[in-house]
Chains A and B, each alone.
Chain A
Amino acid sequence: MSLVGLSRWQFAITVMFHMAFPAITVGLSIFLCVIYGRYWRSGNPVHLQMFRFWRRIFAVGFAIGVVAGVVITFEMGLNWGGYAAKTGPIIGPIIGMEVVTAFAVEAGFIGVLLYGDGRVRQRTMFLATLMVSIGTILSSTWIIAANSWMQTPAGYRIVDGQYQPVDWLKVIFNPSFVWRWWHMLGGVLLSAAFVVAGIGAWYLRKGRAMAFARRSVSIGLGVAAIVIPLQIYLGDAVAGHELPLQPSKLAALEGNWAPGNTGWVLFDIPDQQAARNLAELNIPCFGSVVNHDLSCKTAPPGLSSFPAADRPNVAATFWGFRIMFFASLFMFGAAFWATVLRMRRRLWTARRFHRFLVWLSPVGIVAILGGWVTAEAGRQPWLVYGQLRTSDAVSALAPGEVWFSVIGFSVLYVVMFVAYLAYLVRSVRIGPERDHPSTEDDQPVLEPREAVAT
């Protein structure tokens, strides 16, 4: 494999592993903040129980997200030295703002959020949860700003091959930023909502901790029912604002080689070399409908009008998009079904629906990963769309060095993923019963950290 190919694989592996964790923890941190706020106001022990249980799920995921995120920062210089040197004046300050306004805030208050319970005043506890959730939102804001600049660059000039800022407002509020930001926020809220609803539904099925389980399912589904219609609209808006500026991505994600297909490709096995689809399933006219034209006349562009060197990988872009899209249909279906059940007052007795929810727990995370694959693979072969080629940005490393890191990260990430899953399953099995304030006395072994004094 070429150095560029290997470096790209490493980045894909590390960044997708990283993203799986913020995908849950950003939404969960907001959830924790709201739940603690309600406990602070109401004093209802179930709220404290919910806060403590979900914090357990949040804690380890947050730590993995942080350390896996540090890796990404280093990789910009380690593996993509050309990118670092050329885009540094623009991307560097944006990520720098992320570190000081988000990373540092989260790091400063996460200790209190995780370990301050019962040792600091409730007001301080609430403040810490609030700061952490603000931090996670700000963090995604800056990251989306930087990534959107790479998708739709604006406000810069090129001096000696280096991208230099001319107008910071245009750099940050580049054409795709605002819509992508809302879309990302919707995504993290949905993925957390389905994790919360799914795990809650598992307890419903087991008949355990019913007050806790009902509230969790209810909140998760409520958030999903509000957000999913908005999210589908936002996804369409992102496409409308970004894809006219990135026609090759649009062609790849729709799986069209030749121009003029007014249909919509449902299933596709593309052959990148031969520039055609080996097998495809086309729904007539639907491609035009997707483009807001019901008369069946509008066709998205075809990839064959781009030089072969400028084409993104169709399989990755197409399937990344389809996975996100189909996942969103599942989420919509679940939210719709739940609303019907709730109106017929059968939400708590519909056991098949509960099982469906359990299986659906990771659906939001899958959708987010699919969306990122579309965004990133579809932007290729560019790092900065239309400007900087990926192959011109890679560090001149010895292939052995990159093999070492690819294998090292892959093995370690598999171990970490298994460890997190095991932790998750164990925490869920033990359950929220021990987190209820009334059981505080009989849990000497499992209550974390009594060792540190205030």
Chain B
Amino acid sequence: MITSLWVLEVLVCFLMYAVLDGYDLGVGVAVLFERDGGRKRSMVESVAVGWDGNETWLVLGVISLWAGFPLAFGTILPHAYLPLVVVLLSLIVRGVSVELVSQSSSLTRRWTTAFGWASLLASFAQGFALGTLTSLGSMNLFCVLSGLTVTAAYLALGYAYTKRKSSGSMRKKAGRRGRIATAVMAALLIEVLFSISSTAAPLNLHSPARVSAFAVLLLFAVGGVVAALVTFTRDRRPSADTVPIGGLIVAVVSVLLALVVARYPVLLPPNLTVDAAVSPRNTMLFVLIGIGLLNMPLVLAYNVFAHRVFRGKLEGGDS
């Protein structure tokens, strides 16, 4: 019981991370496809107020994994050493360049470019690292595919966020490009689902319960993607800004959940399970009460606060 609750906590952290840092990494990648300097800058600034809070979920997820499943933490991370180091290096460049751009340092243009490339590299390397864990540490085409899929998903989220935050031609453009990114993401995802069965650690769909949960979650994902595709280029109705990002969030979350369903309780293929890696009871009680029960709601509240203070449309860009 305690173990499953903590698995849930870790899962919530990583899902929050995928969605929140997903959009802000995606905005970073989108900066690379934008030519206009003013728009680039307002895109960076739309990220500046929130990236720190979004990244909290990565740190919290990693620490929760360490505290709850120390054996897994010490085994999984060295497995994906190189891609994770690349993730860290690019997150550093990203964080620093965001602040340098928005504090109006010199060389703003170069830092904006650095921000874009670092976002791209971080997204790709995150997907690559996920792929490595499925491929049991070896690097192969599947890892590349996984990297591309994650990048496309983040980019789609980034455009959905930009559409929501901007107005005028910037909003239109974000809608058009967001639709393309969503379509690419969907195609890559289908490819991932087909090729995952031929990796070293195929999905476990051997019971009817697993199959039906897996299928229902994938249906949700399809629904989310379709909703985003349809509404991305609309601009009249009030829902035109919320449905694309909502649909994409549903899609990303359900795909990740589907993969978890097909893997549980294996943390690292082939046979490191949650029960084998779990911390002693005394530790689990501490983290469940101290971190999960008392503090997680507060962390969520801070996140909501940070996003609410700066809600509304961007002013810069154009009209």
Contacts and interface: CB of A to CB of B under 8 A. Distances in A.
Given A88-B73, A99-B56, A78 B84 contact: yes
Nearest to A92: B67
Interface string B149-188: 0000000000000000000000000000000000000000
Given A99-B63, A451-B42, A93 B299 contact: no
Interface string B70-102: 110111111001101100110111111011101
Given A70-B91, A451-B45, A453-B315, A108 B302 contact: yes
A396 to B, nearest CB: 7
A73 B317 CA distance: 37
Contact of A99 (B60, B91, B94, B96): B60
Nearest to A131: B302
Interface stretch (A32-40, A61-69, A284-292): A61-69
B41 to A, nearest CB: 7
A408 interface: yes
A81 B298 contact: no
A60 B67 contact: no
Interface SS of B by simple majority: helix
Contacts of A73: 59, 62-63
A70 B59 contact: yes
B53 A104 contact: yes
A67 to B, nearest CB: 4
A79 B93 CA distance: 21
A2 interface: no
Interface of B: 41-42, 45-46, 48-50, 52-53, 55-56, 58-60, 62-64, 66-71, 73-78, 81-82, 84-85, 88-89, 91-96, 98-100, 102-106, 279-280, 282-283, 286-287, 290-291, 295-296, 298-299, 301-303, 305-306, 309-317
Size bracket of the A interface: 35 or more
7 contacts: A60-B105, A73-B59, A89-B279, A92-B283, A103-B60, A115-B102, A164-B282
Contact of A93 (B42, B103, B283): B283
A203 interface: no
Nearest to A424: B105
Contacts of A124: 309
Q: State the 6 A-B residue pairs at the shortest beta-carbon distance, nearest first.
A: A88-B70, A108-B302, A92-B67, A81-B74, A77-B77, A451-B316
A448 B103 contact: yes
A454 B291 contact: no
Contact of A423 (B55, B95, B105, B296): B105
Contact of B64 (A86, A96, A416): A96
Nearest to A78: B77
Interface in A29-62: 56, 59-60, 62
A397 B73 CA distance: 15
B48 A78 contact: no
B309 A454 contact: yes
A296 interface: no
B315 A451 contact: yes
A117 B74 CA distance: 43
Interface string A81-117: 1111111111111011101110111111111101110
Contacts of B279: 88-89, 92, 164
Contacts of B283: 88-90, 92-93, 164-165
A401 B81 contact: yes
Contacts of A164: 279-280, 282-283
Interface in A407-454: 408-409, 412, 416, 419-420, 422-423, 426, 445-454
B78 A450 contact: no
B287 A115 contact: no
A419 B299 contact: no
Contact of A84 (B49, B74, B93, B282): B74
Contacts of B93: 412
A166 B287 CA distance: 14
B91 A67 contact: yes
A165 B67 CA distance: 12
A31 to B, nearest CB: 18
Contacts of A416: 92, 96
A404 to B, nearest CB: 7
A81 B99 contact: no
A279 to B, nearest CB: 41
Contact of B70 (A78, A92, A452): A92
Contact of A165 (B55, B98, B286): B286
Contacts of A62: 99
Contacts of B102: 115, 448-449
Nearest to A446: B104
B49 A451 contact: no
A282 interface: no
